Amino acid sequence: MSADAHDLIRIQGARENNLRDLTLDIPKRRLTVFTGVSGSGKSSLVFDTIAAESQRLINETYTAFLQGMMPSQSRPEVDRLQGLTTAITVDQSRLGANPRSTVGTVTDVDAMLRVLFSRLAEPHIGGPKAFSFNVASVSGAGALTVQTGDRKGLKQRKEFHVTGGMCPRCEGRGSVSDIDLSQLYDDSRSLDQGALTIPGYKPGSWNVRFFTESGFLDPDKPIADYSRRELNDFLYKEPTKVKFQGINMTYEGLIPRILRSMLAKSPEAMQPHIRAFVDRAVAFARCPECQGTRLSEGARSATIGGRSIADLSAIQVSDLAEWVRCLDEPSAAPLLDSLAEALDAFSAIGLDYLSLNRPSGTLSGGEAQRVKMIRHLGSALTDVTYVFDEPTAGLHPADIDRLNGLLTQLRDKSNTVLVVEHKPETIAIADHIVDLGPGAGPEGGTICYQGDVEGLRTCGTLTGRHLSTPVALKESVRTATGTIPVRHANLHNLRDVSVDIPLGVLCAVTGVAGSGKSSLIGGCLPTGAGAITIDQTPIRGSRRSNPATYTGLLDPIRKAFATANGVKSALFSSNSQGACPTCNGNGVVYTELGFMETTSAVCEDCGGKRYQPGVLEYRLAGRDISQVLDMTVEQAHEFFSSPDSTVRQADRILSRMRDVGLNYLTIGQPLSTLSGGDCNGSNWPSRWPRTAACTSSTNRPADCTRPTSTSC
């Protein structure tokens, strides 16, 4: 075989998800853009086929011992793949919102800065860990016995001490919390009477039984009548081993339990109802000991040229880069060069206005996507396949040109760059284009066009018509019916911003990435404004989750089945009483084969329907629950909008899903099989305002080329 034959990635018979036996060749060391409406199969081809098989083949190069500890990946549904190289994926997932995760820790710039301070800072306080707010100072001492050969045990006393940089007061978070006890419980009631007002703490639930059956508290006694000891056991008791229903469990007070289960996450990572509770019950303030720097006193006292690591982490990256270039220390020259190169990468992608101590969960979608690219810009690797999922999502047009330069820079290093994209500006720089469609879901999965940009404009596909047809401006606009006042906003980079946001109209908040749009809308709207926030937070779901459960559609359907048949609604949940006992409601049975990949097979008892046979005997308008969940949104809408239907709530949710162009989705398909556009669209009907008075504050979906998506 000639060397030229290796200049292509050859795909034969790809059938992953909705792909229809695709066969195509993708040129290597070129920038290839994959276009098409959301759900047309772009992610299935690029991520679930090419990138997934590349990762699986790399994992197979490790020893059987290591493979047994790595996630098992099955082979994609494809007949043949040739010419694959190592794939590095940069997807749409937001950066982790851990309260200790910052821009510096995500990009590893903090690690280099800590090494620099461990070598040059005065006074010397220790190694790099001494400047890390993720490492606590720990010390200990004790006796140990050492046995060697036939000699009797020799007792030795050992001591150890680890110097960390974590502030002991806030534990590296930079803020401390004060909990309002009146928001946790109604002291006039007992635990069995529903005293706890915390989400998930209903009478009879596991969380409440944990207290009522612990032996420390009287479940029938009002909390107001607790003795001082009982109140301390209820609220603050330290972890203690107890016997709970014959099982050894660890009991702890309500306050540490809430701190561990709810407040360990940043607000950006919380579910909406949890966040609403935390906003109501918990007040956050800057740590008075470290002044929000997260660092211990020792880490703050060590300086280089009069500046501590806390000072440098708080300034803009552009100013930090200038400080690094002015630092003349021959002993640390290689480290300074690497640090300067990493900081220059921030400038290359337009993020030099950030500071290293900026929490990663507060970054906008466009900022997060570009931050993840920083590690790859200075990489010495070549002939690598980089896979990007809509890298321009959330970017201002002024920033797209800069990101296009980064993509071409990666390509010019002899790398293969594969991009799933909708923006015309990025499509225009492609060396090769693959347009999938013609529609979404079952109507997609085929190749409509391959070639260059000019050919795409004239090929007549939906994408081609979109590129060749200019968007017209509205001739008339609506009049605002009111305003939401925002006064003196100073969150993150906002500078005393005061603005009146109009109601009753579609209001666009624009500006370059990082200008403060998300900070203004997502963090500064007054409490009680009635705003429903639909942001770029990805849907988190497993095989058990589906569009029906995520949007709340399944609840009225289950109730309708229960009412029609005179049984409990829990029977119609594959996660509860109605689940098939063989597959536990998964529909498939998994078999682990040691170091080999885990195999799955359709459950023989339920036939993949997830439910017990007895549950499927109950009918609603002639259909059982599994048949309803196998319907598409369009089919379900027709079923529940019929004159005989009594499930009007289901019809309203399905109408919303149709309005955002999700009519092709099967309402019972696992969320893990949805594309990025499908997930983005599913956020809308799940949070749609119930009354006209409500206001929806949103980030525009990154992919709005779907023709039926006129409600955007």
Residue type, 520: L
Average pLDDT, the chain: 85
pLDDT on residue 688? 64
Per-residue model confidence (pLDDT) at position 496: 93
pLDDT of residue 149: 67
The confidence score (pLDDT) of residue 705 equals 40
pLDDT score at 1 = 45
List pLDDT tens digits, range 64-113: 777 777 776 778 999 999 999 999 988 766 676 677 889 999 888 999 99
C-alpha 346/C-alpha 443 separation (Å) is 41
Q: What is the pLDDT of residue 538?
A: 62
List the beta bridge partners of residue 161: 139
| Nearest-angstrom CA–CA distance, 352 and 348 | 8
The larger pLDDT score, comparing residue 152 to residue 586, is at 586
CATH topology agreement for domains 3-94+380-468 and 547-698: no
pLDDT tens digits, one per residue of 530-563: 777 776 666 666 677 889 988 889 989 999 999 9
Q: What is the rounded CA–CA span in Å between residue 525 and residue 333?
A: 47
Indicate the SS3 state at residue 256: helix
Q: Does domain 547-698 have CATH number 3.40.50.1100?
A: no
The CATH code that applies to domain 3-94+380-468 is 3.40.50.300
Q: What is the pLDDT of residues 389-444, one digit of tens each?
A: 888 877 778 778 888 888 998 899 999 999 999 999 999 999 999 999 998 888 89
Query: What's CA 584's distance to the chain center, in Å?
Result: 26
Reduced to 3 states (helix: H, G, I; strand: E, B; else coil), residue 306 is coil
pLDDT for 9 equals: 95
- Whole-angstrom Cα distance, residue 163 to residue 171? 14
C-alpha–C-alpha distance, residues 513 and 366, integer Å: 6
In terms of pLDDT, which residue wins out, 588 or 623? 623
Confidence at residue 221, expressed as pLDDT on a 0 to 100 scale = 92
Contact 215, 327 (CB under 8 A): no
* Nearest CA among 616, 617, 656, 618 for reference residue 636: 656
Distance CA 708, CA 657 (A): 11
Q: Is 166 helix (H, G, I), strand (E, B) or coil?
A: strand
**What pLDDT sits at residue 146?**
76
Q: DSSP letter at 611?
A: B
pLDDT tens-digit profile of 474-509?
Answer: 888 999 999 999 999 998 789 999 999 999 999 989
Would you say 102 and 359 are in contact if contact means Cβ atoms under 8 Å apart?
yes
Greatest CA separation found in the chain?
96
Quick one: which of 431, 439, 396 has its CA closest to 415? 431
Q: What are phi and psi of 244, to 5 degrees?
A: -125, 110
pTM score, whole prediction: 0.74
Contact 371, 107 (CB under 8 A): yes
State phi, psi for 494 to the nearest 5 degrees: -70, 140
User: Half-sphere exposure of residue 561, counting CA atoms within 13 Å on the CB side?
Assistant: 25
Residue 520 in tokens: 């203004």
- The dihedral of CA 676, 680, 685, 686: what is its sign? positive
Distances (CA, A) of 340 to 77, 486, 694: 45, 39, 48
For the chain, percent of residues with pLDDT exceeding 90: 41
The residue among 355 and 283 whose pLDDT is bigger is 355
The domain ranges of the chain are 3-94+380-468, 175-286, 482-529, 547-698
Listed range (24-38, 295-309, 338-352, 606-620) with the worst mean pLDDT: 338-352
* Band of pLDDT at residue 452, cut at 50, 70 and 90: very high
Residue 12 and residue 26 in contact, taking contact as beta carbons nearer than 8 Å: no
CB 24 within 8 A of CB 450: yes
Length of the chain: 712
SS3 content of the chain, % helix, strand, coil (to 5): 35, 20, 45
Confidence of residue 268 (pLDDT cuts 50, 70, 90): low
Contact of 321 with 337, CB cutoff 8 Å: no
pLDDT at 31: 97
